[in-house]
Chain A
């Protein structure tokens, strides 16, 4: 009775999807619920101000939001082109054994805990950045962005590569019939067809970069100021939550963390939705499937 099986499978999948949707909705709901007292508790919109100084009753978290966005975008600006380049190298621009080695290396990199990157960077990159900047401590926006780009790189390459591989298989004959070689197929046929996949990789990379806590906590310096220069010490929202979490649970500083969590979630959702809304060549929107 294949019809029956289909129905059961459909029911199970539907249940799974509903459960996940409920869980996500619950996370949203609870965060908003916990964040609400901060706005209704007499402070009003003070939490959305520009100064974090709990001693004087100022709990503005906007500089941290700006820092998070700047950090994630700069990491993406460094990491995404690099990921695309690596992907193209793997799919036809370097000898096959080297490509296999690169791919294995990137897969291995996904398994590295971020604290290892942070720790290594603390002793290797930070002194270098301090000398390069000629001022400050080396714990800054630029240092954290460089390492975050490295951390987000394997995720982006693997997503891109999966899409490119599939598209290559589909377009290989067409390309060959046109007299294209493998590189020409990649550049003129596969990459344009993979646009949705490439933006999905960017969205995942952005999510990885804005959500990471340890790298900014260890390397960005954590000064709660507006980001002005790439050599400034800045504090991301994630690092901020990590730093302030240990205060008294009933303090206003603690309450403001829920607002910080909400903002992080909203930024991430906004970016994902924006990238999904980008039209691709065949008129459908970008998807997270490994095709296009």
Chain B
């Protein structure tokens, strides 16, 4: 992964030389410091992490920050084994994980998980019971839920996905998913697949919804970040950063930075709701 990010970082460094230094107050914490921060894990976190990393590395070229994906499970595991400084997860840590690895968790944003369909699918509302029946294979044609006569193709996420964990727990109520469902490895791959397939049903973090897919209401709840924040959309989760033990040095500064006004602005711009500390 780092090989891919090296040119990106190089570009950021060059940019730093060209841009006149703008000393925003929250970034003062990084002044005169050096070090590296390796970040991996949940794919929903990447946009926030990258933007924060870019801003920090622009004012301080002595700090190197690498951001990789891999899914929530990988984030927890790699942070626990000391392979990365911050392991991102779109789900809370299990008691076993806290005990085994001694991880400390920092929630910084709320994200909802929404059902997505192909934009040309006429279905605009579903009930959670219908979604459960669709994923269980009891409903197999869109005309059974008020759509066109077309077979439903199912998309789900891999087992390490935090998005899947929220969807399974809160939308499907741990109900079964038929074995023939396609499995995709990231939020981005889900969006690409659903955007292309007229019969598709899938699910992504609300922050990933754009015009290429369409999110129907579920039980009358409209999936949007505002509704996720005020509690009127209930299929939500928090996004966490995890460190092994209390964070130190620039890693602590990085986490603190996301709780400043500027950090919250980055979180909002990525489509999430900041939680504050």
Contact = CB atoms under 8 A, between A and B. Distances in A.
Tell me the interface secondary structure of chain B in the complex.
mixed
A242 interface: yes
A139 B182 contact: yes
A246 B73 contact: yes
B197 A138 contact: yes
Contact of B159 (A138, A225, A247): A247
B183 A235 contact: yes
Nearest to B196: A127
A250 B160 CA distance: 13
Given A243-B183, A247-B159, 5 more contacts: A52-B179, A55-B174, A122-B192, A244-B160, A248-B73
Interface stretch (A103-111, A129-137, A161-169, A176-184): A129-137
Contacts of B77: 246-249
Interface of A: 51-55, 122-123, 126-127, 130, 135-139, 217-218, 221-225, 232-233, 235, 242-250, 253
Contacts, number: 77
Interface of B: 70-74, 76-77, 81, 97, 100, 151, 153, 155, 158-160, 174, 179-185, 189, 192-193, 196-197, 199-200
Nearest to B75: A246
Contact of A135 (B71, B151, B183): B151
Contacts of A54: 159
Tell me the interface secondary structure of chain A in the complex.
loop
Nearest to B94: A248
B196 A222 contact: no
B159 A223 contact: no
Contacts of A225: 179-180
Contact of A137 (B70, B71, B199): B199
Contact of A232 (B180, B184, B199): B180
Contact of B193 (A139, A244, A248, A250): A139
